[in-house]
Structure 1
Amino acid sequence: MAIIYNKPFSLTQNNLISVRPSDVTQTDMEFAHFMRLAESWLNDASESDRQMFRKCNGTEMEHIALKALKDVAPQTSFSVDNIKLVSGLHFPDIQAAGHFGVEVKSTKSDTWTSTGSSIVESTRIPDVSRIYMLFAKLGGKTPEFRCRPYEQCLSNIAVTHAPRYLIDMNLADNGEKNIFEKMSVEYDTFRMLGEKEKINSVRKYYMHANRAKGKYEMPWWMGDANTEVSSSIMIRFFNDLSMNEKSDIRARMLILFPELFGPKQDKYKRAALWMCSRYSVICSNLRDTFSAGGKVEEIGGVRFKCKMPQVLKTLYQNRGLIKYLLSNPDEALMQDVEDHWGENESQSLCLDKWFGLMQQVFDENNELKDVGLKELFVLWQ
């Protein structure tokens, strides 16, 4: 159904930016009307020639979408001359009247989902402020098309060679939240962030969401964009690392994951995920890295009344590096502490803070409950 306006207006590259604030909603409504007409044009054309649409590749679909927009433009306030295809050079694929854009996506499957564009949007046309997704579902009995505001059909974020949006054209119908609603941020606010800020915002969202659900999951494809420590392009085994690399990673684990000294069977899970996420390193026998060798009665000149777990000796062997890191934390450790100890914990990062967290875990473990960690460290000087 066409939208009827009391007063006609013109959308051009020269005058759109100067419309009165009261006209902004009107221009958005006109763009929505424009896209509904294009959607109808495409679905009608598909009914007439299903086989031709089924054979289309992505590039061909962009040109068909451009033709649809130009064919229906005379029914709107958009000028045919101001609609152009910029695919391959910029985002989105089609620019209209300078400030409007259309991103064209297609799938050969009979589904309304697909992988979308990069969250970074490094090639975005600066003048484009409103974007619609034009989605072509080419599988199924008849190829179909849907048009939705861009941000309203981005369901989540995944990774190919870079973080990318996931598209779900059914979001508007099934009542599920888009990724920006989940992150509690407006799309127009998020898209204006710098690349590092975007990566960190998304990383923090997933870290906090998984922690709230009690899940052992981490965004391995997103290290902290503000630190110099980044995940290697190659996945390596812990046993193949140099002695210095092993020592550094092991000491950081002993700082970040006090549960390594606890009684739970799954106490190595978070540490294993962190090592993979932060360093692209995996270990098939992480338990042995801390506990191999059985129990001991004496560590560092201190003799115990009963045998102690080997992990306590591992702590002794790494005590110097642990104290150094806690006294001189780098940005990566500060960020990891915030992620794994809790929000803003990095602001109070210190040796005493760590002693307190560790002692809580010692107290829960029957084998370690009589050990005063802080006093033990003094004896190990």
Structure 2
Amino acid sequence: MALILNNSDARIQNNLISVRPSDATQTDIEFAHFMRLAESWLNDASEADRNIFRKCNGTEMEHIALKALKDVAPQTSFCVDNIKLVSGLHFPDIQAAGHFGVEVKSTKSNSWTSTGSSIVESTRIPDVSRIYMLFAKLGGETPEFRCRPYEQCLSNIAVTHAPRYLIDMNLADNGEKNIFEKMSVDYDTFRLLEEKEKINSVRKYYMHANRTKGKYEMPWWMGDANTEASSSIMIRFFTDLSLQEKEEIRARMFVLFPELFGPKQDKYKRAALWMCSRYSVICSNLRDTFSAGGKVEEIGGVKFNHKVPQVLNTLYQYRILIKHLLNNPDDALLQDVEDNWGENESIAFSTNKWFDLIQQTFNTNNELKDVDIRQLFDLWG
């Protein structure tokens, strides 16, 4: 793809710069200069008449951005004829000289932050390898404009109907990391991942970050659209589920959250968050679904030396389903295990590992520390 020079010097008017994504240092410099000129054009226009932009909607702002780029193009190596608006069909909104793009965002508020585009970038123009954000802050005393390399102003990820980037045009000035620096991945590496890989990478980052901070938080959009356990579009109450749905969720909780057998008061928090994010189901009394009914001395024909928590009786009731899940894990369960079994995200899934985790939790509970989980399952059959 050739970039036709549009320069006042007639001697180089017909020269060509070959634009290759793998060797684009000089053209990146040219593009940065191009965007600085466009930023100045827009800010000068706003200073001259602040009412020009005050009531602009998103579409109008894209057309104004296009005019700014075409007006300053003669001062650069970019040809006016190679700058086009593709908004509504592709990402980014404006394409220039094939490999360069401009994403136009605007806000009516007096803030340099906004919600950006989808992390999936499913409509991205394949040829575009370099993108700038052109941000219009239309609130405040005078509308202002800033242009930054796209990835350098993406601060975080949030969800509307799908995971989307959050824009913060101050990142370059306040020294905070962009989302790709936080995730320890290069933007050009991340953007080339398949959609499922992107979602998984982002989910793992937030899961790990929250565990490190000791927070009971997880992405509500963590469900995998390619599994039957995907999150429902409707939020439901656990009490309204069918018996089969309730049994399936309880059995998976026993596999995923060993702390259900522990002594801590907050032992149901992670399970409740998982149920909400994976199944869009909420429960106001999750504790009662596992341990209602007091303590017991005999379960499944096995007598204990002292009374044990009712949760052990619930485990007995679900032992067949649990064994089936352990021996036949589906993709959703394997993903949830990776997200929830301990601090080590690469922990290997196995029935023996589950027994180990349960036994470790038993050992922290004075009412269960003398119970051998493997022996108990053997006795129950």
Residue in structure 1 matched with residue 275 of structure 2 by the alignment: 275
Structure 1 residue 18 displacement after superposition: 5.4
Residue in structure 1 matched with residue 293 of structure 2 by the alignment: 293
Residue in structure 1 matched with residue 3 of structure 2 by the alignment: none
Residue in structure 2 matched with residue 349 of structure 1 by the alignment: 350
Distance 1:288 1:33 in 2: 64
Q: Deviations over 1:211-251 (max 9, x none)?
A: 12111111111323554421111111111111111111101
Structure 1 residue 49 displacement after superposition: 1.2
- Does residue 116 (structure 1) correspond to residue 85 (structure 2)? The answer is no
Contact 1:251 1:322 in 2 (8 A): yes
Distance 1:108 1:363 in 2: 58
Distance 1:195 1:354 in 2: 31
Contact 2:221 2:277 in 1 (8 A): yes
Paired letter, 1:374: R
- Does residue 358 (structure 1) correspond to residue 358 (structure 2)? The answer is yes
Distance 1:96 1:371 in 2: 69
Distance 1:11 1:92 in 2: 27
Structure 1 residue 305 displacement after superposition: 2.1
Structure 1 residue 20 displacement after superposition: 9.2
Distance 2:76 2:47 in 1: 24
> Secondary structure of the residue that 1:229 maps to in structure 2?
coil
Distance 1:311 1:299 in 2: 11
Distance 2:30 2:228 in 1: 47
Residue in structure 1 matched with residue 4 of structure 2 by the alignment: none
Flag structure 2 segments of 5+ consecutive residues without an equivalent.
Answer: 1-8
Paired letter, 1:343: E
**TM-score (normalizing by structure 1):** 0.93
Distance 2:225 2:157 in 1: 17
Distance 1:311 1:147 in 2: 58
Distance 1:11 1:286 in 2: 71
Residue in structure 2 matched with residue 69 of structure 1 by the alignment: 69
Paired letter, 2:246: K
Distance 1:303 1:9 in 2: 93
Q: Deviations over 1:244-296 (max 9, x none)?
A: 11111101101110101111010000000011111111111000000111111
Distance 2:64 2:107 in 1: 15
Distance 2:230 2:15 in 1: 46
Contact 2:89 2:123 in 1 (8 A): yes
- Identity among equivalent pairs (%): 82
Paired letter, 2:231: S
Distance 1:294 1:232 in 2: 34
Residue in structure 2 matched with residue 46 of structure 1 by the alignment: 46
**TM-score (normalizing by structure 2):** 0.93
Paired letter, 1:367: E
Structure 1 residue 17 displacement after superposition: 3.5
Contact 1:100 1:128 in 2 (8 A): yes
Distance 2:229 2:22 in 1: 48
- Does residue 320 (structure 1) correspond to residue 326 (structure 2)? The answer is no
Paired letter, 1:38: A
Structure-2 change in CA distance of 1:98 and 1:8 (3 Å): same
Distance 2:257 2:340 in 1: 8
> Secondary structure of the residue that 1:329 maps to in structure 2?
coil
Residue in structure 2 matched with residue 16 of structure 1 by the alignment: 18
Q: CA RMSD in A?
A: 1.8
Distance 1:331 1:312 in 2: 27
Q: How many residue pairs align between the two structures?
A: 370
Distance 1:106 1:348 in 2: 47
Distance 1:185 1:148 in 2: 19
Distance 1:376 1:314 in 2: 13
After the TM superposition, which residues 206-217 of structure 1 pair with which residues of structure 2 at under 5 Å, given as runs? 206-217=206-217
- Does residue 25 (structure 1) correspond to residue 25 (structure 2)? The answer is yes
Structure-2 change in CA distance of 1:19 and 1:158 (3 Å): closer
Distance 1:302 1:374 in 2: 13
Structure-2 change in CA distance of 1:20 and 1:201 (3 Å): closer
Structure-2 change in CA distance of 1:101 and 1:333 (3 Å): same
> Secondary structure of the residue that 1:343 maps to in structure 2?
coil
